[in-house]
Structures are given as structure tokens and as C-alpha cells.
């Protein structure tokens, strides 16, 4: 059974009944707070696992260390709420508003998020592993150190987000926007990046080792000291990108467009790799010489 929250039943009683239901579904009642307004509510460490919070309004609520695992949060409004170290693992976040929320250290593993918003959310060191994310915005979010291992992102937006040392290990990213993001030391190792946009992104020291990159945009990106070893790059626009000190040993560069790119000091590029890529007179080759690259020119050797 579910216990809907009428005005006359205080929240503590609903939480007690829900706790009893979690222990024995014949002894208590599942909490159903659908459509209830709980702005500024103090729910620190509240146990709302498997609760129904569809359309619930929790603006500015205190949910620090709350257990919302497997909860139904469709269309819930949690803007500016404090969810630091909260457990949302397995939660349903369809249409959920988390703009400006505090999610530092939160567990978002295995969530299903569609048409949700994390705009300007503070997500440092959160976990979002094995998640399924569709048509969701993280624009302007502070997501340094977040682990996105083995998650799937489709049509997501990380524009202007801070992703310092975030880890997208073995993640599948399709039609995801990273325009203008800041991601020093971010790792995409082993991931599949398909038709994504990194225009103007700052990705110094990023790791793309063993990554498959298909028809993605990196125009004007800062890729200094970035690691592309053993990656597979099919097409894509790297015009005006800077690759100083980048590593390419073992990479495959099929029709990668380096016209106008600065490859000065790039390490591990071979003649075979460069003839498979596109270069022009505006390309600066690893030797510091202007392109286009000509086989046997030696211009693939970096400046000493």
C-alpha cells in the first residue's frame, strides 16, 4: 500500500510508516508525496528509499545524506536543494529539476534521467556510474572529480561546465555538447564519443586513450598535453585546436581534419597517421613547419 500525504498527517508519521514498510511491506505503508510542496523542509538523513515523489516540490530543502535510492522523482522540483552525500542510486529522474542543487559527493549511480536539468548544480566528487541520461542539461555545472563510469549519455549538454579530473571511463556519449567546458585532466579513456561537440573546450592533460571518436567537433579546443594513444579518430573537425605536447602513439586518424590545427611538439605521430588525416597550409606540423604534410618530409618529428 502507499500512504498519500494529506494535510492533516504530519511528515514524521509518513516517514515512520514508510520505514516500517521498507522493513515489512505488510506492516507499514509506502510514502507517496506526489504533488506535495515541501519547500525548505529539513529532511537531513531522511530515509525515502523507494518513495514516490512525483511532482513533489522541494525547493531549498535540506536533504543532506538522505536516502532517495530507487525513489520516483519524476517532475520533482529540487532546485537549490542540498543533496550533499545523498543516495539517489537507481532513482527515476524524468523531468526532474536539480538546477542549482548541491550534490557534492552524492551517489547518482544507475539513475535514469530524461529531460532533467542539473544546470549550475554543484556536483564535485559525485558518482554517476552506469547511469542512463537522455536530453538532460548539465550546463554550467561544477562537476570536478565526478565519476561517470560506463554511463550512457544521449543529447546531453555539458556546455560551460567545470569537469576538472572528471572520469568518463568506458562511457558512451552521443550528440553530447561540451562547448566551452573546462576539463583539465578529464578522462574519456575507453569511451565511445560519437558526434559530440567540444568547440572551445579546455582539455589540457585530458586522457582519450583507447577512445573511439567519431565525427566530433574540437574546433578551437585547448588539447595541450592530451593523451590520444591507441585512440581511433574517424573524421571530425580539429580546426584551430592546439595540440602542444599531445601524444598520438598508436592512434588511427582516418580523415581527421587538422586543417588550421597547431600540432607543434605533438609526440608519436607517424607519416602514415598524417597522410590519413587532413592538413593544409594553416596547419602547424609537429616539427613547427607549416603544412600540408608531405610524406618523407620529416615534419612529423616534434620540435626538440
Nearest alpha carbon to residue 73 among 88, 49, 44, 93: 93
CB atoms within 10 A of CB 72: 21
Given a contact cutoff of 8 angstroms between Cβ atoms, the answer to whether 251 and 233 are in contact is yes
Does residue 244 lie within any of the structural domains? no
Q: Residues 72-92: what's their mean pLDDT?
A: 98
What pLDDT, on the 0 to 100 scale, is given for residue 279?
A: 97
Average pLDDT, the chain: 96
pLDDT, tens only, 236-271: 999 999 999 999 999 999 999 999 999 999 999 999
Given a contact cutoff of 8 angstroms between Cβ atoms, the answer to whether 61 and 38 are in contact is yes
DSSP-derived letter for residue 285 is P
Asked whether residue 274 carries a pLDDT value surpassing 90, the answer given is yes
The model's confidence at residue 304, banded by pLDDT at 50, 70 and 90, is low
Does residue 21 lie within any of the structural domains? yes
Asked whether residue 303 carries a pLDDT value surpassing 90, the answer given is no
Asked whether residue 3 carries a pLDDT value surpassing 60, the answer given is no
Does residue 228 lie within any of the structural domains? no
Does residue 13 lie within any of the structural domains? yes
Asked whether residue 5 carries a pLDDT value surpassing 60, the answer given is no
Does residue 10 lie within any of the structural domains? yes
Does residue 296 lie within any of the structural domains? no
Q: Residues 210-234: what's their mean pLDDT?
A: 98
What pLDDT, on the 0 to 100 scale, is given for residue 10?
A: 85
Number of domains in the chain: 1
Domain encompassing residue 13: 1-32
**Which grid cell is 153?**
549519455
Sheet holding 192-194, edge to edge: 112-114, 132-134, 152-154, 172-174, 192-194, 212-214, 232-234, 252-254
pLDDT, tens only, 103-124: 999 999 999 999 999 999 999 9
Does residue 149 lie within any of the structural domains? no
Asked whether residue 25 carries a pLDDT value surpassing 70, the answer given is yes
Given a contact cutoff of 8 angstroms between Cβ atoms, the answer to whether 98 and 121 are in contact is yes
Does residue 56 lie within any of the structural domains? no
pLDDT, tens only, 278-301: 999 999 999 999 999 999 999 999
**3-state DSSP assignment of residue 194:** strand
Query: Percentage of the chain with pLDDT > 70?
Result: 97
Omega before residue 209 within 30° of 0, cis: no
Amino acid at each position: 500500500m502507499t500512504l498519500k500525504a494529506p494535510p492533516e498527517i504530519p511528515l514524521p508519521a509518513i516517514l515512520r510508516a514508510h520505514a516500517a514498510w521498507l522493513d515489512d511491506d505488510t506492516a507499514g505503508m509506502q510514502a507517496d508525496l506526489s504533488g506535495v510542496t515541501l519547500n525548505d523542509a529539513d529532511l537531513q538523513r531522511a530515509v525515502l528509499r523507494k518513495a514516490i515523489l512525483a511532482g513533489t516540490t522541494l525547493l531549498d530543502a535540506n536533504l543532506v545524506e538522505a536516502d532517495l535510492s530507487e525513489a520516483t522523482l519524476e517532475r520533482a522540483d529540487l532546485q537549490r536543494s542540498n543533496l550533499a552525500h545523498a543516495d539517489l542510486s537507481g532513482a527515476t529522474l524524468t523531468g526532474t529539476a536539480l538546477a542549482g542543487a548541491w550534490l557534492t559527493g552524492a551517489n547518482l549511480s544507475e539513475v535514469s534521467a530524461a529531460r532533467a536539468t542539473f544546470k549550475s548544480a554543484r556536483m564535485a566528487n559525485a558518482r554517476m556510474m552506469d547511469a542512463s541520461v537522455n536530453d538532460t542539461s548539465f550546463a554550467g555545472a561544477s562537476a570536478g572529480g565526478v565519476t561517470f563510469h560506463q554511463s550512457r549519455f544521449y543529447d546531453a549538454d555539458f556546455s560551460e561546465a567545470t569537469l576538472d579530473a572528471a572520469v568518463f571511463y568506458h562511457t558512451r556519449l552521443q550528440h553530447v555538447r561540451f562547448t566551452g567546458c573546462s576539463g583539465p585532466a578529464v578522462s574519456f579513456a575507453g569511451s565511445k564519443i560519437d558526434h559530440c561537440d567540444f568547440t572551445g573546450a579546455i582539455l589540457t592533460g585530458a586522457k582519450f586513450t583507447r577512445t573511439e571518436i567519431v565525427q566530433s567537433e574540437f574546433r578551437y579546443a585547448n588539447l595541450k598535453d592530451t593523451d590520444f594513444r591507441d585512440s581511433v579518430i574517424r573524421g571530425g573537425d580539429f580546426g584551430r585546436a592546439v595540440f602542444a605536447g599531445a601524444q598520438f602513439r598508436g592512434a588511427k586518424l582516418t580523415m581527421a581534419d587538422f586543417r588550421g590545427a597547431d600540432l607543434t611538439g605533438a609526440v608519436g605521430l607517424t607519416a602514415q597517421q598524417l597522410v590519413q588525416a587532413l592538413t593544409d597550409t594553416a596547419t602547424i606540423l609537429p616539427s613547427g613547419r607549416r603544412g600540408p604534410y608531405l610524406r618523407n618530409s620529416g615534419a612529423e618529428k616534434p620540435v626538440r
